[in-house]
A and B are shown apart, each in its own frame.
Chain A
Amino acid sequence: MEQSFQMPGRHGYSVRVSPYFGHRLACASSQYYGIAGCGTLFIIDVTPEGIVLVTSLDWNDGLFDVAWSENNEHILVTGSGDGSVQVWDVAQPRVYGIDWSQTRDNDLILSASWDQTIKMWDIMRSESLASFSGHEHVIYSAAWSPHIPGCFASVSGDHTLRVWDTKKPYMAQIVIPAHEGEVLTCDWCKYDQNLLATGSVDCGIRLWDLRNPRQHVSQLVGHGYAVRRLKFSPFQGSVLASCSYDFTVRIWDFKRQKVPLEIIEHHTEFVYGLDFNLHLPGQLIDCSWDEKLMVYMPKSLTPLP
């Protein structure tokens, strides 16, 4: 079943499923394609009768990414264009402004910023705990390793993928010149602690084994424009989904074939946000600059009977 949610005047940047409730989604969006204007965080519920808006929270600048708290079902964190990180309490809407953008969290939050640093935050404290420098261009994404404590990866416009140890903020542990263009997204495999995927402006997706970072282990080609975001499936170790400036979402199984299992073309604009539903095998959620958020079950992900 496919369901869609309209966000009038708002262009989707990122979408995430709550780690507590499989039917609850958060979507970070921006006015005017995130170039100017304000932003809105939509909290929505997927119900059999359709998608229902739970609440929408406004911010004075575009919201570019969102992450749910892993230890409180009501707490969310967003990164915004004005350089601040917002902590939202949905149970009691209230905002704490802190400093710089884009996130992913276990107990702590990472924000990847255009100021070429990554900062680590504890939402209970207003100062950052650590600042990681080394990237030489805008940092588009930072992601905690789901396996190794205190380890995270980051990708940047400087064409590199870097892997960090939180105890050593002054330099990255591994620096990989990953692509021939800006690297916009990365994600960790949920089943292999050494495996990472990156997506780039060069239209390619590459898979990396951290034990041998000199050469990528696999390359997936097919997107017509830059790959904006990619996510590994929480259910199958070799399956990942990617979304792109070419308006499509593609689903890949890199162990089976180099071409996509499926190409989804239900958007009419850049597709920016993408997430698997951890609670519902086979469900994918994406959002796009066409003001639409889609919740659907791609054929290629439908579990075999």
Chain B
Amino acid sequence: MERAKVVFGHLKSGQEEYHRLQKRLTFEKHFVDSDDDVVIVHALRTPLCKASRGGLKDTYPGDMLVTLFSEILKQTGIPATMLQDICIGNTQQVGAGEQVSRISQIYSNIPYTVPIRAVNRLCSSGLQACADIAGSIKAGYIDIGMAGGLTAENVASRFNITRQQQDQMSLESHAKYNYTDFIRAARAQRNGWFDAEIVPVKTKVKAKDGQEREVLVSNSSQLTDGAAMVILARRSFAAKNNLPIFGIFRAYSVVGVDPTVMGVGPAYAIPDVLRKAVDDIDIFELNEAFASQAYYCVQKVGIPMEKVNPKGGAVALGHPLGCTGARQLATLLHEMKRRGKPSYGVVSMCIGTGMGAAAIIEYPGY
């Protein structure tokens, strides 16, 4: 804050200006901290790779989960026995996702006494898993839990949307949007802004282990393989066990929208969860299922473009359905941490069959 102080020093003659600038630079708290807050202890993800052809195509979905389970527990030092519930978002897995989740858990040496379940809300499954664990903590069922998401598309050809339809949807004006997205993602990658959030996954493929993921210029997010994991806990529990507080899960909202209009969910879910000015949010991780719908939502809600997906969104990175929400949460929190300033961020996505979800995440800066 030394730089801010120097600039303030230049404005001695103007108290009004001083306060104006100060308001812009300081963090205005909109939520009161409480012992019952749901805090995020840590968030990680695997690389995202093109489905069917990408670096993770021959990786068993369980392998990604096992890697993340092990790595997140290792990085936080949380004993597996401490976990009281696990919830995994998925969309495509056999046995409604329960089977692969449970097997991965056992393989990761998380004892069978820890319960696990799977949840499916299509594109927001990963975020819904976080919200479910957060809800259980809020309700008092558990003190700490793990949430995540997984997508391995090596079975899938979903939705009857043809490439032609997607192309039509991408109006010319969105080309610029796509371009910006790739530039941002490439810059973030080059500068190593993803390093903290990505866990490499060992895979049997010869491909360069997913770190060097290929990016396809297209007007929609690619079908993608990947997984992400988040540990959530009650603040009092985290404090008692000396767990780090990486972020705070402040609010969650899911709304239904007209199923005949593709992708407008965030335009309704964001105002619903915010109930406040967009000004107070520093970063919006808005899932780009399609450039057109993301562009529409940004315009509709009136979000300044520089606040949207600063590290690139799904058009560049990919959209692993089951994991996206948790992936965005990891991307968001690590970016807020990199910026180093207490702030609020929003994670939002549209959901197949006509829904939208959004969550407010606070980075407390300590």
Contact = CB atoms under 8 A, between A and B. Distances in A.
Contact of B3 (A35, A58, A181, A245): A35
Contacts of A202: 13
Contacts of B191: 58, 60
Nearest to B192: A60
B106 to A, nearest CB: 43
Interface string A214-252: 000000000011101000000000000000010000000
A287 interface: no
Interface string B3-26: 110110111111001000100110
Interface residues of B, number: 22
B11 A245 contact: yes
A233 to B, nearest CB: 25
| A contacts with B: majority SS | loop
B187 A58 contact: yes
Interface string A127-150: 000000000001000000000000
B259 interface: no
A226 B10 contact: yes
Given A8-B305, A9-B306, A58-B187, A35 B13 contact: no
A226 B6 CA distance: 12
Given A8-B306, A225-B17, A36 B341 contact: yes
Contacts of A228: 10
A9 B183 CA distance: 14
Interface string B99-117: 0000000000000000000
Contact of A225 (B1, B14, B187, B341): B14
A293 interface: no
A33 interface: yes
A58 B183 CA distance: 12
Contacts of A9: 306
A153 interface: no
Nearest to A37: B339
Nearest to B4: A35
Interface size class of A (residues with CB under 8 A): 20 to 34
Nearest to B341: A36
B40 to A, nearest CB: 22
A157 B9 contact: yes
Nearest to A228: B10
Contacts of B21: 33
A229 B21 CA distance: 20
Contacts of A224: 13-14
A35 B11 CA distance: 15
B244 interface: no
Given A8-B306, A81-B3, A225-B17, A35 B25 contact: yes
Nearest to B340: A36
A35 B7 CA distance: 9
A284 interface: no
Given A35-B4, A58-B187, A225-B17, A181 B12 contact: yes
5 contacts: A33-B21, A37-B339, A157-B9, A203-B13, A224-B14
Q: Which 10 A-B pairs have the closest CB atoms?
A: A9-B306, A226-B10, A35-B4, A35-B3, A201-B10, A225-B14, A8-B306, A35-B25, A36-B341, A225-B13
Interface of B: 1, 3-4, 6-7, 9-14, 17, 21, 24-25, 187, 191, 305-306, 339-341
Given A35-B7, A36-B340, A225-B11, 16 more contacts: A9-B306, A34-B3, A34-B7, A35-B1, A35-B3, A35-B4, A114-B6, A138-B6, A201-B12, A224-B13, A224-B14, A225-B14, A225-B17, A245-B11, A245-B14, A245-B17
